[in-house]
Amino acid sequence: MNNMNHTGKKDAGDILILVDVQNGFTKKYTVEKIPLIEDLLSRRLFDTVIATKYWNTPDSNISRLMGWKDLCTEAEQDLVPEIRPYVDHITTKNIYSGATPELVELLRSLNGGTLPEYVFLLGFDTECCLLSTAADLFEMGVRPLVLTEYSGSHDGPRYHDAGIISMEHLIGPNFLISKGDIKSKKDIRDIVLDVMSKSV
């Protein structure tokens, strides 16, 4: 890639991470987000698109400790068909956070051996896997630019809103991007420049 960061070093450009946009999480309250996500992806605004997939294995803490048995079948675990053509890489997990060693290694490999300064995030569920992924990336020094209008919770707006409020406190409101009509590379650049101007 020929992208250059503010230091003049080549970098990975604009990376979008789709957190768990899977059949099993696409229900009454999240299905309306799929056309928005598909429209965003169809514009090819990002240099790399990564999708995380949650596999609820029998030994997962969610299965073992909570007794939650969804996302156990391949059909539930599959990515939503509308997004598949746009995905460059898939990472898997059986925990909330998508910031697994597999993802971190991938981000480093895309960015010349170091973690990128920022990544874009969207997905399901806002209050669980999206929040955990954003928080873990933040702790690693990566600015998580969360596209809130393209994200949701399959359990409804109450949980989505709770996730947004928690992230406002956890990673700060500057990283929560409420713009819901991202149409161009200029929109992406404007978001990045605005966020970078507010953080060191």
* CATH code: domain of residue 56: 3.40.50.850
Q: What is the pLDDT along the chain (200 residues), one digit of tens a residue?
A: 345 444 444 578 999 999 999 998 899 899 999 999 999 999 999 999 999 999 888 888 888 898 878 877 888 888 999 999 999 999 999 999 999 999 999 999 999 999 999 999 999 999 999 999 999 999 999 999 999 999 999 999 999 999 999 999 999 999 999 999 999 999 999 999 999 999 87
In a domain, 4, yes or no: no
Q: What is the predicted pLDDT for the residue at 47? A: 97
Domain limits at 37?
A: 22-197
Q: What is the predicted pLDDT for the residue at 2? A: 41
In a domain, 88, yes or no: yes
In a domain, 5, yes or no: no
Q: How many CB atoms lie within 10 A of CB 196?
A: 15
Q: Are 48 and 110 in contact (CB under 8 A)?
A: yes
Which residue has 């059909």 as its token pair? 75
Q: What is the predicted pLDDT for the residue at 139? A: 98
pTM reported for the whole predicted model: 0.92
In a domain, 3, yes or no: no
In a domain, 105, yes or no: yes
Q: How many CB atoms lie within 10 A of CB 27?
A: 15
Which residue has 């604009």 as its token pair? 14
Q: Are 139 and 175 in contact (CB under 8 A)?
A: no
Give how many domains the chain has, as a whole number: 1
Q: What is the predicted pLDDT for the residue at 8? A: 47
Q: What element of type H or E holds 176?
A: strand 176-177
Rounded CA-CA distance 36/113 in Å is 33
In a domain, 9, yes or no: no
In a domain, 158, yes or no: yes
